[in-house]
Amino acid sequence: MNSVTSTANKDLAEKHIAWQRQLNKLRWLALTTVFSILILLPFLHLYQTYLAAHAYEILSPNEKIIFNVTQSLTSPFTASPESDLDNFKGTTWSGTLFGMQLSDPLAVLTNISASFTFNTSFMMTALIPVLLTLTLGRFFCGWICPATFIYELNDNLGTWLHNSLLQNSLLQKIGLPIGQLRFNQRLKYLILAICIIVTAIAGTTLVSNVYPPAVIGREIYYLIVVGGFGIGATFILITMLFDLFIARRGFCRYLCPGGALYSLLGRYRILRIKRDVTHCTDCVRCNAACQFGLDPMQDNFGQECNNCTACITTCPTDALSFTINVKDVQFQGAGHLGHQHQKQQGGRLP
Amino acid sequence: MDRRVFWKVLSGSGLAALIAKTGFAANTRTTSRFLRPPGALAEDDFLDHCIRCGKCGESCPNETIKFFNFENGLSSLNTPYIVPREKPCILCMKCGEVCPTGAIKNILHDAETIMNNVKMGKAVINKDLCLSYQGKSCGVCYRACPLPDVAMTVGYMEQPTMTDACVGCGICERACIQMPQAIKVLPTTTQRAHS
């Protein structure tokens, strides 16, 4: 009886899970799209200013290239780019997409704490992100955040440095570790609280200067339109070095105030990754793949999981999958296909 | 304003007063002459409400709006500003349209509404430098003014005189052919302006 149901479950699981292995590719597509939109928008802005000034004749050759490329890109979609392109403005911190205003919940929170006013129209712009976070958890961190795009590539660089380049090299002899330190993940909630208190005292939204997605969107704009990075680029560089040499994905895990807010909002999320204990082989690949240092192999996701699907993609037996659950399951024991469980079974059975 | 009252009530001796006095939060350390975008709230409220999203600059068709680095202190880091001599505001009012928080008020693109609601500053004429006051009728600022005869009137030798209707867009300052310019916009934001 048991074996029948388990095989049935297995077939069912395989049918449902197979496509989830592709989600990581989809996620990278989303991250790349958001990042390239952030790069594209300043060029659209430049194009609009050229149009507004009727200045094609006096543009320099490089600017003419920008004008021509952007014109050919936008011409299929809009007849009057000068006004229509106003529907695409801003960054992930606060932006306009297809004419709809969307804001980061942290922007709304710090705006309230800085100004001591409840600006309803501004609060409504964060409604959709908040509702999505309540159901999906920290999906923004894994799927949209332009900082994640940079930090994940940075982390891959770190892994590569660690695995190939630094073997027996000077750096290793000095003893410089590549992201080995671990802190308490609750540190970021303290930082969120400090950020809110400081904005309330200072009366300015200083958080936007230490919140990577806001900084990155702004710096890309500065680079393309103003012609050079601002101070924020230094900040991003420092966080990247912090991630590389001090703690793996350290900023997102321990310091990011936005990540803390998303974690709190997504605490009772519906969409959770769950381990199917009957398929698990205890191979620990999921734990190695998890850049957030969580423990999928022991059912330990918590509110920190950002739904990045790296563990689902890595799992060789499709034991991990997205499920609709309000709570994480307790530790289910060793994976049934692993050595430990087999030994236990062997011990009990004659 | 609410915020200040709140903190004064909350902390008698307090941290807040200390921080406000050291100029970490306050806007009293302005050192350069700049304008805030048209329709911006009073400087203190503006810093409260602005979330530094940069959409005002991104929507500005004249590329007028620039962003502070550390020049004006930590509190105005990444906030928008205008230097009228370099690029004046053309009063298109797009920045107020896109501002999500209302730090820049959404004002209709209409001469009457703009005159009633926009007050970036007021142009001040230096008669010693102005060509028209020196007997060489010039009138360039008058020709450039978006509100001629309302914000600026001229005499028989094109000597400009400012009225209270001036919104401070700075087009006259940009247009002035004197070097240094004979007409300057004195911003409402600045407490200690260069004369």
Range of the domain at B69: 3-98
Residue A165: its pLDDT value, please?
65
Q: Band of the pLDDT at B25, cuts 50, 70, 90? A: very low
Task: Report yes or no: A93 at the B interface, CB cutoff 8 Å.
Answer: yes
- Residue in chain B closest to A203 (alpha carbons) equals B48
Say if residues A122 and A108 touch (Cβ distance below 8 Å). yes
Residues of B with CB under 8 A from a CB of A: 2-4, 6-7, 15-16, 19, 24-25, 44-45, 47-55, 57-63, 66-67, 69-70, 74-78, 94, 97-98, 100-102
- Is B107 within a domain? no
Residue A185: its pLDDT value, please?
85
- Coil, strand or helix at A130: helix
pLDDT digits (tens, 9 = 90+) for B57-89: 999 998 999 999 888 888 888 999 999 999 999
Same domain flag for B35 and B93: yes
Long-range contacts of A334-339 (CB under 8 A, 24+ apart): A334/A280, A334/A282, A335/A275, A335/A277, A335/A279, A335/A280, A335/A281, A335/A282, A335/A297, A336/A277, A336/A278, A336/A279, A336/A280, A337/A278, A337/A279, A337/A280, A337/A281, A337/A282, A338/A280, A338/A281, A338/A282, A338/A283, A339/A282
- Is B125 within a domain? yes
Say if residues A154 and A249 touch (Cβ distance below 8 Å). no
Q: Band of the pLDDT at B192, cuts 50, 70, 90? A: very low
- Residue in chain B closest to A220 (alpha carbons) equals B54
Last residue of a domain, one of B98, B129, B159: B98
We report the CATH number of the domain holding residue B130 as 3.30.70.20
Q: Measured at the alpha carbon of residue A41, what is the angle toward residues A39 and A42, in degrees to the nearest 5?
A: 80
- Is B111 within a domain? no
- Is B88 within a domain? yes
CB contact under 8 A, A122 and B19: no
B14 pLDDT exceeds 70? no
- Which of A339, A335, A289 is CA-nearest to residue A315? A289
Residues of A in contact with B77 (CB under 8 A): 206, 209, 231
Residue A130: its pLDDT value, please?
94
Same domain flag for B67 and B152: no
Residue B183: its pLDDT value, please?
93
Q: Band of the pLDDT at A350, cuts 50, 70, 90? A: very low
Residues of A in contact with B83 (CB under 8 A): none
A175 pLDDT exceeds 70? no
Q: Locate A275 and state its tokens.
A: 């381990």
Q: Measured at the alpha carbon of residue B150, what is the angle toward residues B147 and B152, in degrees to the nearest 5?
A: 80
- Count of Cβ atoms closer than 10 Å to residue A331 Cβ: 13
Residues B117 and B108: their CA atoms lie apart, in Å, by: 10
CB contact under 8 A, A111 and B51: yes
Say if residues A261 and A244 touch (Cβ distance below 8 Å). no
Same domain flag for B64 and B141: no
Nearest to A111 among B60, B98, B101 (CB): B101
Residues of B in contact with A47 (CB under 8 A): none
- Is B39 within a domain? yes
Same domain flag for B31 and B90: yes
A131 pLDDT exceeds 90? yes
Residue B13: its pLDDT value, please?
47
B8 pLDDT exceeds 70? no
- Is B92 within a domain? yes
Exposed/middle/buried for A54, CB within 10 Å: 0-12, 13-18, 19+? exposed
Candidates A205, A209, A229, partner chain B, best to mutate (most B CBs within 10 A): A205
The percent of residues in chain A predicted with pLDDT above 70, rounded, is 90
Average pLDDT over residues A331-341: 80
Residue with structure tokens 């930590």? B74
Nearest to A122 among B4, B61, B102 (CB): B102
Same domain flag for B126 and B82: no
Q: Which residue has the higher pLDDT, B171 or A228?
A: B171
Residues of A in contact with B67 (CB under 8 A): 218, 222, 226, 230
Candidates B45, B58, B90, B95, partner chain A, best to mutate (most A CBs within 10 A): B58
Q: Band of the pLDDT at B18, cuts 50, 70, 90? A: very low
Candidates A96, A113, A115, A223, partner chain B, best to mutate (most B CBs within 10 A): A115
- Is B114 within a domain? no
Say if residues B92 and B109 touch (Cβ distance below 8 Å). yes
Last residue of a domain, one of B44, B64, B98: B98
A256 pLDDT exceeds 70? yes
Q: Which residue has the higher pLDDT, B125 or B13?
A: B125
Residues A201 and A279: their CA atoms lie apart, in Å, by: 53
Beta strands in chain A (DSSP E): 89-90, 94-97, 100-103, 271-275, 320-324
Is the alpha carbon torsion for A197, A200, A206, A207 positive or negative?
positive
Task: Report yes or no: A208 at the B interface, CB cutoff 8 Å.
Answer: yes
Residues B178 and B139: their CA atoms lie apart, in Å, by: 12
Residue B15: its pLDDT value, please?
52
For chain B, what is the mean pLDDT? 83
Say if residues B19 and B63 touch (Cβ distance below 8 Å). no
The percent of residues in chain B predicted with pLDDT above 70, rounded, is 81
Helix A187-202 with A257-265: angle, nearest 10 deg: 110
For chain A, what is the mean pLDDT? 85
Residue A336: its pLDDT value, please?
80
- Count of Cβ atoms closer than 10 Å to residue A322 Cβ: 17
Same domain flag for B124 and B94: no
Residue with structure tokens 């094109």? B158
Please give the tally of structural domains in chain B.
2
CB contact under 8 A, A221 and B59: no
A247 pLDDT exceeds 70? yes
Same domain flag for B28 and B93: yes
Candidates B3, B24, B50, B51, partner chain A, best to mutate (most A CBs within 10 A): B51
Same domain flag for B86 and B55: yes
The string of DSSP letters for A251-299 reads: IIIII-HHHHHHHHHGGG-SEEEEE-TTT-----HHHHH-TT--BGGGT
Same domain flag for B76 and B44: yes
Task: Report yes or no: A41 at the B interface, CB cutoff 8 Å.
Answer: yes
Say if residues B66 and B81 touch (Cβ distance below 8 Å). yes
Residue A109: its pLDDT value, please?
92
Q: Band of the pLDDT at A170, cuts 50, 70, 90? A: low
Same domain flag for B17 and B75: yes
pLDDT digits (tens, 9 = 90+) for B103-148: 999 999 988 999 999 999 999 999 999 999 998 989 999 999 999 9
- Is B76 within a domain? yes
Q: Locate B113 and state its tokens.
A: 């509404």
Same domain flag for B125 and B94: no
pLDDT digits (tens, 9 = 90+) for B140-169: 999 999 999 999 999 998 999 999 999 999
Residues B52 and B73: their CA atoms lie apart, in Å, by: 15
- Residue in chain B closest to A119 (alpha carbons) equals B101
Average pLDDT over residues A136-148: 91
Average pLDDT over residues A307-334: 85
Same domain flag for B93 and B47: yes
Residue B26: its pLDDT value, please?
46
